[in-house]
Amino acid sequence: MKKSSTKIAPVFIRPLKKPSMAFSTPVDQNKFRPTSRFHRGFQPGKIGDASMRRTRFIFQRLVIPVIITVFLTALAGAGAAAPDNLKALEESARSGNAAAQFKLGQRLLEQNKEARAIDWFQKAAGHGHVEARYKFATALANGNPEAMFLMGLMYKDGNGVDKDRALAIDWLKKAATAGHEKAARVLARQWGINVEVKRKAPTATQEKKTATPDGKKDLRRIKKRAFAGDPQAQFALAERYRTGDGIEKNEAMALKWYQRAARQGQVDAQSIFATALKKQNPEALFLMGLMYRTGDGVIRNIPLAIKWLEKAAAKGHAGSQYTLGSMYENGDGVTKDITRAKKWLRLAADQGHPEAKDALTIIDAENGDADIACRLARKYAAAGDTTKAFAWYLKAAKKGKITAIIKVAESLAHGTGTRKSLAKAARWYRRAAEKDDREGQYRLALALISGRGVKKSLPRAVVWLKKAVAGNYLPARLKLGMMYHDGLGVKQDFTEALRLLRPVAAAGNPRAAVTIAGLYADGLGTAVNHKKARTWYTRAAVAGETEAYYRYGRYLRLGIGGGKDFKGAVRWYSRAAAAGDANAGFELGLMYARGQGVRASAAEAVKLFTQAAKNGNTAARYYLGLACENGDGTRRNLVRARSLYARAAKRGHTSAAFRLGLLSLIGRGQLQDLAAALAYLQKAAVGGETMAAFFLGYMYETGTGVEKDMKKAREYYSRAAKGENLYGIDAINALINR
């Protein structure tokens, strides 16, 4: 580096005049007394790393306020005005024009020639150029290798200061360690000191240059480093947001990252952010307000935060308006003032700020508006925050809001957003009931019926249900109607049940519809009317009442109350069987066995009989026994057949008893057992099985297993004949003609 003809005092490290703006951080100037006739401030590096740490601390604390001071006041520059032409600018800079030197440094920075730019900033700073001082001082405090290299040369050559070998080596070592190769070469050549040069990290401009066309991979890397606190990456990310390079263009986010980078001494970011402040950019003003509000990088200063936020808010910045409103609402560093809070929040809300709208809602709710409290509760509930939802419902409930009272009771009953308490739930239901709320009366009645949270009392439950029914509350009509149907708490009265349930069924309640259908089918409380029963079964089934699936399918299969519809019966039986209805499964099995509405399939019938038998259907056990006895749809298995018959007979199935008696009589599946045959056949005959009566007649006529008794034989044959059993008729005629 060429020496200047005159010694230049390093004014860029002199104590700065205290900025006039109130937000500057106070500094004790006595800590930095001059140590040479050229210095009026501290000497960076004189005491090695400790001095550098002190320097960095000072600039990190002062750099933002100082830059703001410079850019918000008249921008001062030493010497004559700098020309705009690049050639003329260089000539003017070489001639010692400080303004030209500074401007040339700026141009070089724009061309990404950082080292040369810092060289010119140093020269301009040496001539007293204010902005150049801060540019160079900030670079130095931020550990810029070129700045530290120039400091080393300055002490090595005595440029503006006394030569100082120790300081020169100290600064050059720092520069070399930070990656400056020239500094390492100077140390080796001048003093034989070898220093390992670290690889330079890429600059923000280099980051931008190496970006891929879509920039996704590079952008992820930049973001990761920016969030980790790398100022160059923060600047690069700000640039991305500003230009929309690989990311959605966003001026607010750009300024946010410029500010973060600036706080860490990134020179370009400081310049851009200071310019934004000078132009009174609302987002920049807002970020300054947030910085002082939170104390992020500066001493927390609420008055200054308010000042900056009000400037931004006055320019219509919704975020600033909301922040001010929030501060006044919560007394955050200021005296709580709801009027001011509402003023700022209203302005933000009018611009569509969602949090401001919520905050206004909360203020109104806190001040006793039960409707708004309910609205807030619903919002929190929809968002899944049941605790806050309950808190707001409770506020509204205490103001007497009926819907809120019911919600509070429900929350307490189920433990939603609060601790479960059936007793408290019952008290809130009573509160609603006493205010003549129909749902409250109904819910209180349910609690009285079940005894949950309150002493069980069916008569009191009926009283509250009747009050709710008087207001035509359909759930209460359904409950009271079913109580009359079942005789629960009241005298059983099917007529009253029908009266109460008819409007509920007409409104589409499937439970009421299937109950009414049953009343018409069985002639309870009204005359038997299968046509009406079929209509109500249809409505109930279509509405999804599983109990109606089987009953409606049966009406279709047998043609009750209308024509037969085997295919329709198969469809509804299938739904009922899938829902676990054993009777539906059995009758669907019969339809497969007989080919009604479906292609006949003994195997499918056996499968359905098996499932129905498992579900406890006795008739299914009998038919499954027949399939096992005859090998129809399954492998023949007489042992299993007898077992199935026995289980069915035990449950009173007469046909199963007959088959078991017959197998015992003829010794099929096991040894002949005439005593067992007699017992099973008698049981079947008592149940009306005519073939059992015929075989009993045969046993008494022939003396098989019993003493021969023609009188008993005639008696059993007659019983079979009366049942129109052809074998019985032939047998009794033969005895008469004998």
Task: Report yes or no: 194 and 188 within 8 Å, Cβ to Cβ.
Answer: yes
What rounded mean pLDDT belongs to the chain? 82
Instruction: Please check the confidence at residue 472 and state whether its pLDDT lies above 50.
Output: yes
Distance CA 507, CA 9 (A): 96
Instruction: Please check the confidence at residue 605 and state whether its pLDDT lies above 60.
Output: yes
CB count in 10 Å sphere of residue 575: 19
Instruction: Please check the confidence at residue 97 and state whether its pLDDT lies above 90.
Output: no
Cα–Cα distances (Å) from 187 to 116, 147, 180, 182, in that order, read 20, 16, 11, 9
The per-residue pLDDT for range 250-306, each reduced to its tens digit, is: 888 988 888 888 888 888 888 888 888 888 899 888 888 888 888 877 888 899 888
Distance CA 494, CA 449 (A): 20
Task: Report yes or no: 67 and 133 within 8 Å, Cβ to Cβ.
Answer: no
Name every residue whose Cβ is closer than 8 Å to that of residue 85 and which is 6 or more positions away in sequence. none
Distance CA 278, CA 500 (A): 79
> What's the confidence (pLDDT) of residue 216?
66
Distance CA 131, CA 260 (A): 20
Instruction: Please check the confidence at residue 53 and state whether its pLDDT lies above 70.
Output: no
Which is more confidently placed, 398 or 160?
Answer: 398
The per-residue pLDDT for range 324-376, each reduced to its tens digit, is: 888 987 888 888 888 888 888 889 888 888 888 778 777 766 666 788 888 88
CB count in 10 Å sphere of residue 737: 6
> What's the confidence (pLDDT) of residue 421?
94
> What's the confidence (pLDDT) of residue 215?
54
Res. 495 pLDDT band, cuts 50 70 90? very high
> What's the confidence (pLDDT) of residue 51?
47
When mean pLDDT is compared over 1-15, 444-458, 715-729, the highest value belongs to: 444-458
> What's the confidence (pLDDT) of residue 98?
79
Name every residue whose Cβ is closer than 8 Å to that of residue 403 and which is 6 or more positions away in sequence. 374, 396
Distance CA 261, CA 147 (A): 18
Instruction: Please check the confidence at residue 718 and state whether its pLDDT lies above 50.
Output: yes
Q: At what angle do helices 165-177 and 145-157 cross, to 10 degrees?
A: 160
> What's the confidence (pLDDT) of residue 576?
92
Instruction: Please check the confidence at residue 14 and state whether its pLDDT lies above 80.
Output: no
> What's the confidence (pLDDT) of residue 432?
94
Distance CA 281, CA 380 (A): 36
Work out the average pLDDT over 547-558.
Answer: 94
Which is more confidently placed, 477 or 131?
Answer: 477
Nearest to 468 by CA among 496, 429, 507: 429
The per-residue pLDDT for range 523-539, each reduced to its tens digit, is: 999 999 999 999 999 99
Task: Report yes or no: 366 and 338 within 8 Å, Cβ to Cβ.
Answer: no
Amino acid in position 520? Y
Cα–Cα distances (Å) from 491 to 241, 442, 496, 498, in that order, read 78, 20, 10, 14
DSSP 603-639: HHHHHHHHHHHHTT-HHHHHHHHHHHHHTSSS---HH
Distance CA 706, CA 584 (A): 42
Res. 471 pLDDT band, cuts 50 70 90? very high
Paired tokens of 250: 């966003």
Res. 169 pLDDT band, cuts 50 70 90? confident
> What's the confidence (pLDDT) of residue 527?
95
pLDDT > 70 in the chain, percent: 85
Res. 624 pLDDT band, cuts 50 70 90? very high
> What's the confidence (pLDDT) of residue 130?
67
Please tell me the pTM assigned to this model: 0.54
Which is more confidently placed, 361 or 722?
Answer: 722
Average the pLDDT over each of 75-79, 174-178, 411-415 and give the range with the smallest value. 75-79
Distance CA 209, CA 245 (A): 11
Task: Report yes or no: 415 and 386 within 8 Å, Cβ to Cβ.
Answer: no
> What's the confidence (pLDDT) of residue 93?
82
